[in-house]
Each structure stands twice: as structure tokens, then as C-alpha cells.
Amino acid sequence: LVRFPEDLEDENTTFNPEYSHQVFGDDEVAFGYKGLKILLYYIAGNLSTLFRIEYTSKVNEKFDCVEADDVESKIREIIPPGFCTNTDDFVSLLEKEVNFKPFGMLLHTYSVHNEEAGEDITYQIYKADMTCPGFREYHERLQTFLMWFIETASFIDVDDERWNYFLVFEKYNKDGATLFATVGYMTVYNYYVYPDKTRPRVSQMLILPPFQGEGHGAQLLETVHRYYMSSPTVLDITAEDPSENYVKLRDFVLVKLCQDLLCFSPGKLMQGFSQEMVMEAQQKLKINKQHTRRVYEILRLRATDMGDAEQSRSYRLDVKRRLIGPYKKKQRELAKMRRCLRPEELTNQLNQIDINMQHEQLEESFQQLVSDYRRVLERLAQA
């Protein structure tokens, strides 16, 4: 991500993809080159792109009787047309970066202290849509990062007006002028819920690698929740096929939002999960029942003295009653089998459903969950 011409030569500003299977196949291999480097430079704000390929040698079809992979065409399938192929053109575009401004409506401004710079850096979150001049082309460049950093990423249909886009930018100074650098973004699809509601579903969320670990994901998700909370037509907010990291982030944000609700006071938490919690979390914060249950378990853990045998046992049983659901389903299936299967078939099925193993798996799931919950509470204590 380039802010100054010298960034082009600075290896410290380079970051590598986490995934390349969507471009180069499951083996993530480009055949036929020695010393291959695929170089993509993006102007930090508007993401204008410079694309170069370097290598020390390449197999020759004439002499080696094999053909090298066409790396350039594979990359061209991902990045939109109009990119630069030489440095001079790219640097001349960089000089115009001072004219770049964020798209859409400003929702939230916050600061993060940067130890290296020894100062607070300001960030802003905007909501944009395809009617913003220049946003369609900018989004085409922005979404290219998905292919390298989200395992199952795909490009979305931007002509569907039910998409909302939320963008994070850093404000920085260059030669006395204020400029903006792209930090990350989120896409949200608004599903219709009969008769007169919508259910926003988070589809993609990415904080670019140089900015990860600074709390921007939590700021973005909380801002998006607060944006939808004010709408009377929104039922609740969900996510499409959430990753493990996203679930942990969501746990933190939702617990932070819910902890001050009256229904989550320590006294009420110790009485168990209630319909009051479900109703209040949905009506005030647009959180669905499943996510509210996780919030309850995390906040109840904070209110529980796990050194007290009775409190600890009560908490463990409460969480395990939820976790045991899939195992009870297996037992119901087993009861059906007893009625339908011949003895030898039933024996075969019983071997697959070992009760002791179920208890071990249940305990393992519980311990993992408590470990995850403790991390959320530690982060909350530091917030």
C-alpha cells in the first residue's frame, strides 16, 4: 500500500497473501519459473494499481518442450482493467492522491494510539453505495484483496441495490495536506423478512494486513450494529458462513453492547437464560436469540465464582444443557433405529454412537468454550 514514492522500494511495507488457491489452484503453484515475483502495488487511498511480474528464468517451450503457466492472465482475471504496468505512470497517479476523499456518509470517528509514531492516529468509518461517484470502480479494486485473504471469497453482484458497504479509512498528513488511506471494509446484504422487516447479513469483512490487530474490526462491526439499531424495520443482524475469528470478534462486540442492559445484571444472569434477555437484545440491539445465548454465557461466566463448587457446577450444567442438543438428536435417531433396523444393523450403528465418547466430546467442547469466553472477557477488561 503506497503513500510515498519511496514505499515502492521499501520491503517493510510488503505483505503476502494468505491464500492463492482461487487463482493458482489447490496446490498454489505457478509452474515454469525461477525466482518468480508477482508484484501488486496499490495507492493507499483510491487503490489505483501497479502490476509487475519479475523472474530470473522461465522454461522455453521450444527447448524444454513444456510451457510455463500464464501467470499474467490469471492475475488479470482478478484485478480490473486500467492498472499501470510501469512505475512512472503509477507515481504520476500517486501525485493526484491528494484529491481522493472517502465515499458516502461518515458514521464514526475514533483514534488509536500508535507506539511507533508516538501519537494518536484518527480513523473514520463511512457507509457508501453504488450511487456515490467513482465508488463502483474503487470497489472493483478493493474487492481484489478478498481473493488473497478470505479462503472462500467471491465477488458480489454490485447491481443488486440491497447491498450496503461500510468502509474504514485512516487520516494522515502528507506535505501539509490531509489524505485518506483504505484500512478495510464490510459488505452487508439486506434480506427481506415477511411482512415488513429486513435482516442484514454480513457477507464479507476484511481489515487489510498492515492494520490488523489494532481493533479496527471491532470498531467496524460495532459501528455497523449501531447503524442498524436505529432502524425500526431491521429485525436482527446475522452473518453468512462466519469464520472462527469473526465469531470471536462478534462475541466481543455483542458482549460490549449488551453488558449494560438491565436483563444482563449479575442477579438476573444467575437465574438463567430468559425470554427477557432475548426480547431486550433483539429490540434494542438487533441481536438474535442464538447470539444472545452466547452473550448470556459469557457474562454469566464473568458473574460466576468458578472457585465456588456450587456456582461452578451450576454454570457447567447450564452450558452443557445447550451443548448436548446434537447428542440428544443422535439418541432420538437411535430410538428410531431400534424400531426399524435388524439386530446386526443396529449393532453396527451403536458402535458409531459410543456414549462415553459423547461425554468426552461434550466436556472437551465445554472447556474450549470457556477458554474462548475468558479471552473475550480479558479483552473486554482492557477495552
Q: What one-letter code names the amino acid at 212?
A: Q
Q: How far is CA 72 from the centre of its chain?
A: 29
Rounded CA gap, 300 and 383, in Å?
Answer: 19
**Of 12-26, 125-139, 356-370, minimum mean pLDDT range:** 356-370
Answer whether residue 247 shows pLDDT above 60. Answer: yes
Q: Which residue has the higher pLDDT, 333 or 122?
A: 122
CB atoms within 10 A of CB 299: 24
**Of 75-79, 107-111, 176-180, 323-327, minimum mean pLDDT range:** 323-327
Q: What percent of the chain has pLDDT over 90?
A: 83
The mean pLDDT of 45-73, rounded to a whole number, is 89
Q: Do 27 and 158 sit in the same domain of this protein?
A: no
- 309 is a domain residue: no
Q: Do 21 and 107 sit in the same domain of this protein?
A: no
Banded model confidence at residue 356, pLDDT cuts 50, 70, 90: low
- 280 is a domain residue: yes
Q: Do 17 and 133 sit in the same domain of this protein?
A: no
Q: Do 26 and 142 sit in the same domain of this protein?
A: no
Q: Do 215 and 260 sit in the same domain of this protein?
A: yes
Answer whether residue 63 shows pLDDT above 80. Answer: no
For residue 138 the three cell numbers come to 474503487
Q: Do 253 and 266 sit in the same domain of this protein?
A: yes
Residue 280 has a pLDDT of: 96
The mean pLDDT of 193-206, rounded to a whole number, is 96
**Of 37-46, 55-64, 284-293, 358-367, minimum mean pLDDT range:** 55-64
Banded model confidence at residue 360, pLDDT cuts 50, 70, 90: confident
Residues 6+ apart with CB under 8 A from 27: 21
Banded model confidence at residue 353, pLDDT cuts 50, 70, 90: low
Residue 340 has a pLDDT of: 72
Rounded CA gap, 354 and 43, in Å?
Answer: 58
**From 240, 333, 364, 378, active-site residue:** 240
The partner residues of 54 in beta bridges, in order of sequence, read 37
Q: Do 131 and 279 sit in the same domain of this protein?
A: yes
Tell me if 98 sits within 8 A of 177, measured CB to CB.
yes
Q: Do 89 and 19 sit in the same domain of this protein?
A: yes
pLDDT digit string, tens, across residues 147-174: 999 998 899 999 999 999 999 999 999 9
Q: Identify which of 372, 374, 371, 383 has the alpha carbon closest to the alpha carbon of residue 260.
A: 383
364 is catalytic: no
Q: Do 140 and 282 sit in the same domain of this protein?
A: yes
Domain CATH code at residue 234: 3.40.630.30
CB atoms within 10 A of CB 325: 8
Q: Identify which of 156, 167, 236, 229 has the alpha carbon closest to the alpha carbon of residue 201.
A: 236
Residue 327 has a pLDDT of: 61
Output phi, psi for 332, to 5 deg: -65, -40
Residue ranges of E strands in the chain: 33-34, 37-42, 49-54, 57-58, 105-114, 119-128, 163-174, 177-193, 197-207, 238-239
Residue 116 has a pLDDT of: 82
pLDDT digit string, tens, across residues 316-351: 999 999 998 766 565 666 666 666 766 666 566 555
Residue 118 has a pLDDT of: 86
Tell me if 197 sits within 8 A of 99, measured CB to CB.
no
Structural domain including 255 reads 101-301
Residues 6+ apart with CB under 8 A from 53: 36, 37, 38, 39, 71, 72, 75
What is the total count of domains within the chain?
A: 2
